[in-house]
Amino acid sequence: MKVIVGKDLLSANAGQAGENRVLFNNNRVTVINLISAPGSGKTALLEKTAELLRGKLKLGVVVGDLYTTRDAERIERAGVTVVQINTEGVCHLTADMVARALQEVSLDQLNLLFIENVGNLVCPVSFDLGEHAKVALLSVTEGSDKPAKYPGIFREAVATVISKVDLLPYTDFDLPACLEEIQKINSDQQVFITSARTGQDLSHWCAWLEQLAAGKAKGNNLASR
Amino acid sequence: MHELSLIQALIDMVVKSAIENNIKKVTKVQLVVGEYYGALPETLEFAFAILTEGTVCAGSELAIEKRTLLLKCRECAYEFRPEGYLYSCPNCTAVNAALVKGRELYVDYYEGE
């Protein structure tokens, strides 16, 4: 007996992601899915972002981590509402993991929610979490060929943050070549060339976040990518 | 690694359908995978062999039909298969072509008794 199914494997995830998105929109919270390799500075970026946006936007962070709560503790010290998801070995967050974490967050109190995905440039790209925008983070210590090696995330990201540029003099990172590569993969995206340590370009990054959040407050829906 | 999640979703789907259709043993599952996902057939088969243990799908064949990428230029509407990762149009060199085909990821059918 042959049974025709024709059903998308990601349909269960997509369904839950849709529910998450409705919840975000009803609470007028702008949600960013932050994706990068391990050690690229997601947590440092969020710590600094929280400092700079204090008094302007109410931030929340959902942190995905394989086992520890270290990142969550660091962000919490910056005065932000944090919920930890331990994926216990799973290499990406899924929409239902996020949905469970959201039960711990008062979304109506927030303007902007970051979902810090598990450090991984491949798997998280395939799983919609209900976010409004994906943002890629790339540190100069990883090498300027990252966009060419992992084009998927750079294709889907609305913005790319290049981090640790204070280390540029000590690496072989070819910034112009990297920027050109990003441009070729996805010319629609914003690029921020930053250092969490020196604060370089973080004001532009934060201004962009404020714009995104303001768009949501007025009821403009960012197209989900 | 995300192949494991995908295959788990596949098995959940087939097991549920098998119960509804009163199928006791699944012999073959036909999966369609677009090139966009970059999921490796060997990895999918490996995950399938492990995760089907103890289910109605145990011992069944996983057949994978690959669908190649087809893109359409946003500038000149030319349709093409990309070479490499850049998705730039061979006709007018514009970047950011739109995806027409190659993002499929679904169970086409399964067979059982």
Distance from CA of A18 to the nearest CA of B (A): 17
Does the beta-carbon distance from B96 to A91 stay under 8 Å? no
Say what the pLDDT of residue A225 is: 36
What share of chain A has pLDDT > 90, as a percent? Answer: 70
Residues B1-56 have pLDDT tens digits of 678 888 999 999 999 999 999 999 999 999 999 988 877 788 899 999 999 999 99
| Mean pLDDT of chain A, nearest integer | 90
Residue in B closest to A181 by C-alpha: B86
Torsion of CA A167, A172, A173, A174, to 10 degrees: 130
pTM of the model: 0.86
Distance separating alpha carbons of residues A154 and A187, to the nearest angstrom: 10
- Domain extents in chain B: 2-112
Does the beta-carbon distance from B2 to A123 stay under 8 Å? yes
Interface of A with B (CB under 8 A): 1-10, 12-13, 90-92, 94, 122-123, 126-127, 148, 151-152, 155, 183-188
Strand order of the β-sheet with A112-116 is A81-86, A59-65, A112-116, A30-36, A133-139, A159-163, A190-193
Residue in A closest to B112 by C-alpha: A1
Check if B65 contacts A (Cβ < 8 Å): no
Section A84-92 average pLDDT: 83
Does the beta-carbon distance from A2 to B9 stay under 8 Å? no
Confidence of residue A88 (pLDDT cuts 50, 70, 90): confident
Distance separating alpha carbons of residues A39 and A142, to the nearest angstrom: 9
Could you say which of B2, B23, B96 has the minimum Cβ distance to residue A126? Answer: B2
Say what the pLDDT of residue B45 is: 92
Check if B38 contacts A (Cβ < 8 Å): yes
Section A85-113 average pLDDT: 90
Does the beta-carbon distance from A1 to B1 stay under 8 Å? no
Please give the interface size between A and B, counted as residue pairs whose CB atoms are below 8 Å apart: 82
Angle B106-B60-B46 from CA coordinates, rounded to 5°: 70
What share of chain B has pLDDT > 90, as a percent? Answer: 68
* Res A98 pLDDT > 50: yes
Which residues in chain A are closer than 8 Å to B99, comparing Cβ atoms? Answer: none
The least confident of A99-103, A157-161, B61-65, B96-100 is: B96-100
Which residues in chain A are closer than 8 Å to B9, comparing Cβ atoms? Answer: 9-10, 12-13
Section A186-214 average pLDDT: 95
Say what the pLDDT of residue A216 is: 64
Say what the pLDDT of residue A67 is: 73
CB proximity list for A115: less than 8 A, separation 6 or greater:
A31, A32, A33, A34, A61, A62, A64, A93, A98, A129, A131
CB proximity list for A160: less than 8 A, separation 6 or greater:
A135, A136, A137, A138, A147, A154, A182, A189, A190, A191, A192
What share of chain A has pLDDT > 70, as a percent? Answer: 96
Interface test with B, best of A1, A2, A7, A9 (most B CBs within 10 A): A9
Say what the pLDDT of residue A11 is: 87
Angle A88-A139-A124 from CA coordinates, rounded to 5°: 35
Does the beta-carbon distance from A9 to B109 stay under 8 Å? no
Tokens representing A119 are 């450090």
Does the beta-carbon distance from B108 to A6 stay under 8 Å? yes
Confidence of residue A220 (pLDDT cuts 50, 70, 90): very low
Say what the pLDDT of residue B1 is: 60
More confident residue, A174 or A219: A174
Could you say which of B1, B14, B38 has the minimum Cβ distance to residue A91? Answer: B1
Section A173-184 average pLDDT: 94
Domain B2-112 bears CATH identifier 3.50.30.30: no
Does the beta-carbon distance from A122 to B106 stay under 8 Å? no
Check if B35 contacts A (Cβ < 8 Å): no
Place of tokens 């910034």: A175
Other Cβ atoms less than 10 A from the Cβ of A95: the count is 22
Section A186-203 average pLDDT: 95
> What domains sit in chain A, N to C, each tagged with a CATH number?
29-216 (3.40.50.300)
Does the beta-carbon distance from A185 to B86 stay under 8 Å? yes
* Res A3 pLDDT > 70: yes
Whether the complex's predicted ipTM surpasses the cut of 0.85: no
